[in-house]
Structure 1
Amino acid sequence: MMTEQATPPETDAKTEPQAQVEPPKVAAAATPTPKPATPQRSGRALAALALLLALGTAAGVYGYGRWFSDQQSAQLQQLQLQLTELKAQQSPLLSQLSQADERLRDLQQQLLKDSDRQNQLEHQLLTLSSRRPNDWLLAEADYLVRMAGRKLWLEHDVNAALLLLHEADGRIRDLNDPALLPVRKAFAADQASLQALPQLDKEGLVLRLSALIDNLDQLPIKGMTPSAPTTADDTQLSDSLADWRDNLYKSWRSFADNFISIRRLDSDSEALLSPDQRWYLKANLRTQLLNAQQAVYREQSAVYEDSLQRVSQWLEQYFDGDDSSTQFMQSELQKLLAEPLAQHYPDKLASQAQLEDLVQQRLQTLMNRS
């Protein structure tokens, strides 16, 4: 029935074309096509579920991205902290390296300056040697004075110091320069002060001590040679008959002396030393005399006096004082103790300071001229 109403005749369609379009709209609106309700609800549920899944997936992706971003930020911050620490540690090293580079540049510049200065000095030295050859005599005199001071203060050799000063004075004399008269005056004063020192014959003292060492074996030890017995009265018999009593007494005394021998000693006898003790005693004496010889060369007056006093004390205690060898050694020891060993040398030489100043002035003047 619906199809019949909706299809108009052909004549009407041609004469009224607008009426032909409108009836289907009215009929479609009036009679909509019914749809089943169950498929529409299930589609909506599926769409909602898909939407929820999409939202969950999006939320999961967003959450994972957020977590990954936080992890990356934390790692980046940690790396930045480590980088900051490394920069802080690198700064002192860079500063030290920079200082070392500056120091190296300064040393290189100083080396170049020293090299240039050395070349200049060599050139000036050649120039000076060609201009003032006599000035070398002045430098040689200064060297000789320095050597004299070393001989005097280090070796205590006054004679060598005097000889060196005399040679230095000869170099100044050869210059024939009136301006050097104050220097020669200082030379004369130094030589006079050294000549005024008491002359110490070291070689003579050492030889005298060596003679005492050689004489040790001849010293008699006390108690080894008892004193001679007192001589008895004259036992010579008389030819006169009037002296019969004296002859009888002398005969009796002679018989008694030969039958019983009694001897008296003037001094108390001491116990004899054993052979080992005698050897050690003389060895100690020899050692003390050798120490005295070394003290002479070193001018150690305290050691020298102590060694000789020990020898004198042991001689008096252990050896026979009446023997000529012991008496000779005691007298020699007293003479050696009376020898002056300590010397008071001058603290400085007046000529040395004047020569140093003069050499510096000459060199400065010649350098300025060059």
Structure 2
Amino acid sequence: MSNEQQTNAPADKGQKEKRSSNVLSWFNLLLIIILFALAGAAGFFGWQQQQAATAETAVLTDRLNTALQKIEASNARETTLMQRAEALNTASQNLAAQVAHNTERLGKLPGAERQDWLLAEAEYLLRLASQRLELERDWEGAISMLTAADNVIIETRNPRFDKVRAQIARELMALRAVPAVDRVGAIFRLQALQEQVTALPWMPEKLIAEPVAEEEPLTLDEQTWYWNLWYTVRDNVIRMVRIRERDEPIAAPLTPDQQYYLQQNMHLMLEQAQIALLREQTELYEHSLQRVSEWLDAYLIIEDARTRAARAALSELQAWEVAPERPDITASLLMLQKLVEEQRRNGTVQPTETNVDEAEEAGTEEDA
């Protein structure tokens, strides 16, 4: 019996070793499968993140291209407007030269012919004043044209046209009573604000540490070992941890891409404000500047000289009246045309001081 037990003992031992090796093999196989599954899952998630990043990059690229196209279009419109302004200035200079030339010629004309020329010039100036105000929104130009027309009517020395002068005076008063907008100056201020946007202290640059009130140190007699230990621990904790109490939640710092797109959006809003100013679209102008003001409040991190200057310029631009109500200045033109037509229909010319002087000189020559 003991011999049989000795014979079966090695066999049982071999079976146990075989079973343990099988269990270890299955465990290794399971571990390999788990590792492959984890690697596959990691690769799948990485591929998904790469696809999402690629899609986001494509969207950002499209937005950037759109923003650049809008900026190029705005620059083209700005160039066109500046060219129109230069053309208007040239036309004004030519008109002034023509008026001076006509005045010189009129000074050499006698009697009724000279008065006809003066009335025609006054009518032309009144018509030009109305066009300046209605088409070009040029308040100063309209005032200059009305003043020039009044001076020309004075030269006629005809009391019949005093009513026209009175109407011109009322129209000048109405124009000066309305605050005119310096559109060129406003556009230059908006452009200066555009250039200043990139120089402002935006959120991602740095976070300013809030000042901490320093306590007066203790004297040497009071600085015992436990006080020194307490101050050392406290200073280390304060350097590592900073607690800020805020009534409102602070916005998360912007990424560089978000900061760039924020600045581009502000550029576009200021361009839109310039266009609204030229077109006298009050709601669009106010909305554009309000959006810029909200972005300044939300994403500017500190208040320094640059920030205060930008806010002051923006507040001044917001206070301007973009589309003031234009008074009607056509009554003087209609009145002058009516009087001239009546004078031509009657075929008579009211005597002026020039005509009387010429008649007296002619009579004196005949008597001599």
Where structure 2 has 5 or more consecutive residues not aligned to the other structure, the ranges are 1-109, 349-368
Which residue of structure 1 lines up, in the alignment, with residue 241 of structure 2?
262
1:164 Cα shift? 0.9
Which residue of structure 2 lines up, in the alignment, with residue 215 of structure 1?
196
Which residue of structure 2 lines up, in the alignment, with residue 142 of structure 1?
123
Per-residue displacement from partner, 1:197-245 (whole Å, max 9, x unpaired)?
2232333333332332222112222254224166486595743266443
Note if contact 1:172-1:184 (Cα within 8 Å) is conserved in structure 2.
Answer: yes
The 5-angstrom pairing of residues 207-286 of structure 1 reads: 207-228=188-209, 231=212, 234=215, 238-240=219-221, 243-254=224-235, 256-257=236-237, 261-267=240-246, 270-286=251-267
Identity %: 35
The 5-angstrom pairing of residues 1-370 of structure 1 reads: 132-228=113-209, 231=212, 234=215, 238-240=219-221, 243-254=224-235, 256-257=236-237, 261-267=240-246, 270-320=251-301, 322=303, 325-366=306-347
Note if contact 1:141-1:168 (Cα within 8 Å) is conserved in structure 2.
Answer: yes
Where structure 1 has 5 or more consecutive residues not aligned to the other structure, the ranges are 1-128
| Structure whose CA Rg is larger | 1
Cα distance in 2 for partners of 1:300, 1:191 equals 25
Cα distance in 1 for partners of 2:326, 2:213 equals 65
Counterparts in 2 of 1:138 and 1:237: CA distance versus 1, 3 Å: same
Matching residue's letter, 1:350: A
Matching residue's letter, 1:195: R
Matching residue's letter, 2:171: D
Counterparts in 2 of 1:297 and 1:246: CA distance versus 1, 3 Å: same
1:152 Cα shift? 0.8
Higher relative contact order (CA 8 A, sep 6+): 2
1:324 Cα shift? 5.3
SS of 1:347 mapped into structure 2:
coil
Which residue of structure 2 lines up, in the alignment, with residue 48 of structure 1?
none
Counterparts in 2 of 1:241 and 1:360: CA distance versus 1, 3 Å: closer
1:159 Cα shift? 1.0
Note if contact 2:171-2:328 (Cα within 8 Å) is conserved in structure 1.
Answer: no
Counterparts in 2 of 1:242 and 1:176: CA distance versus 1, 3 Å: closer
Give TM-score, length-normalised by structure 2. Answer: 0.56
1:145 Cα shift? 0.5
With 312-321 and 326-335 compared, the bigger mean Cα shift is at 326-335
SS of 2:341 mapped into structure 1:
helix
Note if contact 1:235-1:250 (Cα within 8 Å) is conserved in structure 2.
Answer: no
1:269 Cα shift? 5.8
- Aligned positions, number: 238
SS of 2:240 mapped into structure 1:
coil
1:270 Cα shift? 4.4
Cα distance in 2 for partners of 1:216, 1:269 equals 21
Note if contact 1:148-1:160 (Cα within 8 Å) is conserved in structure 2.
Answer: yes
